[in-house]
Structure 1
Amino acid sequence: MAHTVSEITDLRVYPIKSCRGIQLKSANLTRQGLEMDRRWMFIDTENKFITIRSKPQMTLINTSIDQESDSLVITIGHDKGKQVKVPIHPSQEWLDENTKDVSVDIWEYITDAYAYTDPNMLALFKEFFEEDVRLVVKGPEPRICRGNGDPKRLGRTETVNFPDVLPIQIASESSLAELNSRLKEKGESEITIERFRPNVIIKGGEPWSEDSWKTVRINGDSSYWTTLKGGNLHAIDVDVVARCARCTVPNVNPDTAEKHAHQPWDLLVSYRRVDEGIKFKPCFGMLCCPRNEGNIDVGMRFEVMEVTDQHRYAKGF
């Protein structure tokens, strides 16, 4: 199989799990994922995480960055009257005054977080969710990757903030185009890549060729020098650890929060149940663990270095 040589066309972070993301031209890729990605999330009264799966309206919560105040801006819809800000890099003193330490449950993994205590914020989100919820930001305790990212499988220990499974998801425009062609044949509207909430989007080669990626390189090439020295010293190598198994979240229109009764789930189920480890779910996109860190930009070279036919989804988060 020919190795894909492509380029990055889009970068996205989703600061609050299941809420609207932010498109970027440049981002800092860390071992934990793109900086700020899934660093915040909502929890219920039992301290369990909340997502679009049960609350599709979460896609109407918009996020943006206020560079001047170094804050994450959270807006309900586009109503600036329903807006709050939280510091991106708070001091411990600020956290002590404005948050409460909590243990949160994400896929039965208990980890630490800081829950915001501002009464105006709590009232705003209670009105929106129609129940008591709290916004939390990840604490310093490492949340070690499980499943395919388990240290025994990966060969090293990697950690994440609040993604479901692994640090980053990479998706291919060519695969989305193939899916959209099938949707159009069925008389359905095309969908955007945002439905799948990836971090790194590439032009892609043959549709679905990503199924066999094993390692990829950003901002480098496949020469011996690059492999030996990390190329221009800014190349980032990424282990492609698993296919991304899908639930029905992509059925939710991110602009309206309306959930389609069938698509694209039904279509994906018909031909994208390709992983022997999780045969009841279709796959779109690849879950990955960076080996090193650095800045990545839209337009950077993206090259597949190794492929495999051994991908098998490992259950367990």
Structure 2
Amino acid sequence: MLAIDFFVHYVQYLASPQILLTIAVLAAPYLLSNFARKRLSTRATSTGVPGCRRLGLYRRSNLKDQYEDQSTTSNKPTIKALFTYPIKSCRGVELAASEVESKGLKFDRMFTFAKWLPKKRSEGSSEISDGDILHEWRFMTLRENPRLALIQTQLWLPDPRTAQDDRLKNKGSSKATKSQAQRRSQGSDLVGQLDKGRSLGPAGTFAENGGCLLVQFPYSPAFNPFGLRNETVTFQVPLTPTETRAEIKKYSKENIVIWKDYPKATNVTNEISPDKLQKLKEFLDVEPPLALFRVDDAHLRSVQRCLPKEKPDHAFRVGFVDAFSVNLLGITSVQAVDESISATSEMKGKLDALRFRANIYITGTPAFAEDSWKKLTLGRRIGRDEKGLFETEGEYHVACRTARCTLPNVDPETGLRDRNEPYAALNKTRKVDEGAYPHPVLGMQMLPMFEHGMIKVGDEVNVLETGEHRYEKMFT
């Protein structure tokens, strides 16, 4: 009876006007900040880029059923999902179809963040004597900075419909009166020009610079009572900048360290305003100078291992990928790894295939069937000869298995690193390649045997040749 009386008294106390008012005052800032954060995120995503259209799938995914049985959905292995990753180690863009170039899926690892760090050169280096310190730009990955997983990317390409509208409008404008022309020259048409993606300055619009990469990340300053200062920071970088824009924005050509390679790349950091760059440094917890680099197509890296026997001296080139052009992975292989995860792990039963950052996810195969593939055709190769354009099957050399580190331990949704899984499960069951030892392996690395092609979700994988693989290490 005493307990009931106490409970009734407690409820009455909480329901008193004074207590309810106090709760409302304390809760209001939190609720308002969450509402504002959602509005900012939605507005930043939906604003768009004048004169451009967004590429890829969003608000839906072909991997939504990845935890269901995938082994018998087709008589042949087929493409389940496609991803390109515009910035190395940041979130990717899911595609329904993709152009393929000799260096990989279009836009894949086109950019990378880099830190300015001291580096000791070994004895005998042609660049600097032993013991001297050289500062250099070194690429960043999820291995050392898991928060890169929270940086979202969007691809916006020039919209041909807008260009057509502009041509029609420009044709009609030739009949404009003198007074209308004067008003335009005075800037009265400024907003209209922006909406149509026309050039408003010497650097040109993004539509005139091959479209743009839109980048977003969540930012919370050190002093942030009730989360009121949370925001979504957004910046944009042109995909194919003109020489004029490069000169105006003061791009620079600098060397950057990608594993053992030291290619020249384009520093496009000036596209990011100083205040947003500072927020990005705080978000990533980076002390040294931070930069954003774009691949320089004139200074690509060479692939020098696991090459086709019939083309041992062929010049296969890549950009900022770790090693090879295209990464392929079977969904059933991911599910098999999931079965090996410790029963005590929270990850058990929900191992996300996106942790492995493949370009091509396939379905309709037994687990690890791709391990023995040596040569395959997929999608279309598009070429030109004396008769004009032609299409044939796109052929790929399956170079080797993908050696795995602890990078997949980073949750792509939260940016948090698990201490053990799935690397522990891989370590137990996937040390199947003597060449990669002591690393486990999962998925396959491929090289396109053509210059231009196309693949799409639903394309069948035709395996032409199978055999044994032995991984050749990058470092000896």
Q: What is the aligned-residue identity percentage?
A: 29
Matches within 5 A, 1:64-213: 64-68=154-158, 69=207, 70-77=211-218, 81-98=232-249, 99-118=251-270, 119-120=273-274, 121-130=276-285, 131=287, 132-139=289-296, 140-149=298-307, 154-183=312-341, 185=343, 187-189=345-347, 190-213=350-373
Contact 2:342 2:425 in 1 (8 A): no
TM-superposition CA deviations, 1:106-160 (whole Å, max 9, x none): 1020101111242435323222223221010011212111332499984411101
The letter for the 2-side match of 1:275 is D
- Structure index of larger Rg: 2
Cα distance in 1 between the residues matched to 2:396 and 2:310: 18
In the alignment, structure 2 segments of 5+ residues that lack a partner are 1-74, 117-135, 159-206, 220-229, 381-389
- How big is the shift at 1:100? 1.5
- How big is the shift at 1:244? 0.2
Structure 1's 215 and 151: CA in aligned 2 closer, same or farther, altered over 3 A?
closer
Contact 2:302 2:318 in 1 (8 A): yes
Using CA pairs below 8 Å that are at least 6 residues apart, which structure has the higher relative contact order? 1
Structure 1's 202 and 183: CA in aligned 2 closer, same or farther, altered over 3 A?
same
Which structure has greater helix proportion? 2
* Selected match of 2:148 from 55, 58, 67: 58
Cα distance in 2 between the residues matched to 1:155 and 1:170: 24
Contact 2:308 2:399 in 1 (8 A): no
TM-superposition CA deviations, 1:71-110 (whole Å, max 9, x none): 1001114987411101111112212222211110110201
Which structure has greater strand proportion? 1
The aligned residue for residue 467 of structure 2 is 308
Aligned residues: 302
Cα distance in 1 between the residues matched to 2:308 and 2:282: 39
Runs of 4+ in 1 over 6 A off after TM superposition: 150-153
Structure 1's 102 and 151: CA in aligned 2 closer, same or farther, altered over 3 A?
farther
Cα distance in 1 between the residues matched to 2:459 and 2:255: 39
The aligned residue for residue 238 of structure 1 is 396
1:66 counterpart SS class: strand
Contact 1:146 1:165 in 2 (8 A): no
Tell me the TM-score normalized by structure 2: 0.60
Cα distance in 1 between the residues matched to 2:345 and 2:406: 20
* Selected match of 2:100 from 6, 22, 29: 29
Cα distance in 1 between the residues matched to 2:257 and 2:307: 19
Pair 1:268-2:420 in alignment: no
Cα distance in 1 between the residues matched to 2:104 and 2:262: 20
Cα distance in 2 between the residues matched to 1:274 and 1:73: 40
CA RMSD of aligned residues (A): 2.2
The aligned residue for residue 291 of structure 1 is 449
Tell me the TM-score normalized by structure 1: 0.89
The aligned residue for residue 40 of structure 1 is 111
Cα distance in 2 between the residues matched to 1:142 and 1:210: 28
